[in-house]
Structure 1
Amino acid sequence: MVPLVTIAKVIILSIGWNFFIFEVNWFGHNVLLPFAALPDSEEIYEVPIGSISCSTVGSQSGNRICHLKNLCYSNVFNSFLLASDDDDDDHHKLVRFENVVNFTTVVGSNSTFDYYLSSKTFTDMRHYRKLMFFGSYHLLGQFAPNNIAHDIHDFLLPLFNTLTGLNEFQLDTEPSRTLLIYGLVPITASTRSLYSLFSRYPPTLSLDVMMDESLVCFEDVTIGLSHDTIWYQWGFGQPEGPLDDRKVTSKHLQNFTGYVKEKLNIDDKSACLEKDEFGILFSRKSTRVILNEIKLRESISAQTGMTIRTLSFEQNSLEEIIANVSCAKFIVGMHGSILILGIFLPPNSVLLEMFPYALNANHYTHCRTWVEIKGMDLKYVSWRNRNRSNTVTHSFEGLYPGLTVTEEKRLEILASEEVAPHLCCADPAFRFRLNQDTIVDIPAVIEILLGALEEQGRRANVS
Structure 2
Amino acid sequence: MDLDVDDGTINRVDDGSHYKLDPSDTTPLTEFSVLPSSDVWCDGTSQATRICRFRNLCYRPESKVWFILKTASSTFVNVPEGRPTVELGTVDGHHHFFWSYEEASPYSESLRNVSVRYETVQHFIIRRLHPRNVMHNLHDDVLPMFHVLKQYVGGGREDLTMPFSLNDHRILIADEHPPTDSTRPFQYLSNLPIRFGRYLDQDSNIVCFRDAVVGNRAHTNWYQYGFSSPQGPLDKLPNGLMVREVSEWFVRRIGLPLTIDEDPAAALESWNEIKASRDIIVVLQRKLNRLIVNPHELETALKHELMGADGQPMPVVFVSNERHTFEEQIRYLRRAKLVVGMHGSILAMAMFCRRGTTLLELFPYGVPSENYTPYRTMANLENMGLIYRAWENNYPDRSIPHPEAVPLAGGITHLPQSEQETIKSTRWVPMHICCKNPYWLYRMYQDTHVTPMEIVALAREGIAEGAALPLISVRRDVVQAATVNPVLIEKITCLTGEQRRPGDLWAEWAVEPWLGSTVDHWNIHVENTDKQYTAKTDMPAMAITGFRPGEVVRFRIRGIVDAHPRPWGPFSSCTV
TM tier relative to shorter chain: 0.7 to 0.9
C-alpha distance in 1 between matches for 2:7 and 2:137: 17
One-letter code of the match for 2:423?
I
TM-score (norm: length of structure 2)? 0.68
Q: Is there any run of 5+ residues in structure 1 with no aligned partner, and where?
A: 1-12, 14-21, 88-95
Q: Provide closer, same or farther for how the CA distance between residues 29 and 49 of structure 1 changes in structure 2, counting only shifts above 3 A.
A: farther
Residue identity in the other structure for 1:388: P
Mapped contact 1:326–1:346 kept (Cα < 8 A): yes
Q: Which stretch shows the higher mean deviation, 384-393 or 288-297?
A: 384-393
Q: Distance in 2 between matches of 1:24 and 1:281?
A: 15
Equivalent residue for 1:298? 300
Unpaired runs of 5+ in structure 2?
A: 74-80, 256-267, 307-312, 472-576
Q: Distance in 2 between matches of 1:204 and 1:404?
A: 42
Q: 1:399 aligns with which of 390, 405, 408?
A: 408
Matches within 5 A, 1:166-181: 166-168=152-154, 170=156, 171-172=161-162, 173-181=165-173
Once the two structures are TM-superposed, the CA of residue 414 in structure 1 deviates from its matched residue by 1.9
Residue 447 (structure 1) aligns with: 457
Farther off after superposition, 419-428 or 46-55 = 46-55
What aligned pairs does 1:72-111 form with structure 2 within 5 A after superposition?
Answer: 72-85=58-71, 98-110=83-95, 111=97
Shift of 1:339: 0.8
Question: Where do 1:124-203 residues align within 5 Å?
Answer: 124=110, 130-168=116-154, 170=156, 171-172=161-162, 173-189=165-181, 191-203=182-194
Q: How does 1:408-427 map to 2 (within 5 A)?
A: 408-427=418-437
SS for the counterpart of 2:322 is coil
- Asked if 1 retains the 8 angstrom alpha-carbon contact of 2:6 and 2:289, the reply is no
Question: In the TM superposition, what are the counterparts of 1:62-461 in structure 2 within 5 Å?
Answer: 62-85=48-71, 98-110=83-95, 111-122=97-108, 124=110, 130-168=116-154, 170=156, 171-172=161-162, 173-189=165-181, 191-246=182-237, 248-265=238-255, 270-272=272-274, 274-304=276-306, 305-394=313-402, 395-399=404-408, 405-407=414-416, 408-459=418-469
**Structure 1 vs Structure 2: percent identity of aligned residues?**
24
How many residues are aligned here?
428
> Are residues 361 and 210 of structure 1, via their aligned partners in 2, closer, same or farther at CA, if it must alter by over 3 Å?
same
Q: Secondary structure at the match of 1:150?
A: helix
Which stretch of structure 1 is more off in the superposition, 105-114 or 308-317?
105-114
Equivalents in 1 of 2:47, 2:116: separation in Å?
37
In structure 1, C-alpha distance between the alignment counterparts of 2:112 and 2:61, rounded to whole Å: 10
1:206-265, CA deviations, whole angstroms, 9 ceiling, x for partnerless residues? Answer: 12332412422222210122322111111121111111122x112211210122111113
Structure 1 partner of 2:558: none
In the alignment, the residues of structure 2 paired with residue 98 and residue 280 of structure 1 have an alpha-carbon distance, to the nearest angstrom, of 47
* Counterparts of 2:434 and 2:318, CA distance in 1: 31
**Which of structure 1's runs of 4+ aligned residues deviate more than 4 A?**
27-30, 34-37, 125-129, 266-269, 458-461
Cα distance, 1:239–1:78 mapped onto 2, change above 3 Å: same
Is the 8 Å Cα contact of residues 168 and 175 (structure 1) preserved in structure 2?
no
TM superposition shift of 1:133: 2.8
Distance 2:174 2:329 in 1: 28
Contact 1:278-1:307 at 8 Å conserved across structures: yes
Rounded Cα–Cα distance in structure 2 between residues aligned with 1:269 and 1:68:
38
Residues of 1 paired with 2:392 and 2:86: CA distance? 40
The alignment's C-alpha RMSD in Å is 3.0
SS in 2 for 1:281: strand
- Relative to the length of structure 1, the TM-score reads 0.84
Whose helix fraction is larger, Structure 1's or Structure 2's?
Answer: 1
SS class of match (2:84):
strand
| Contact 2:8/2:132 (<8 A) preserved | no
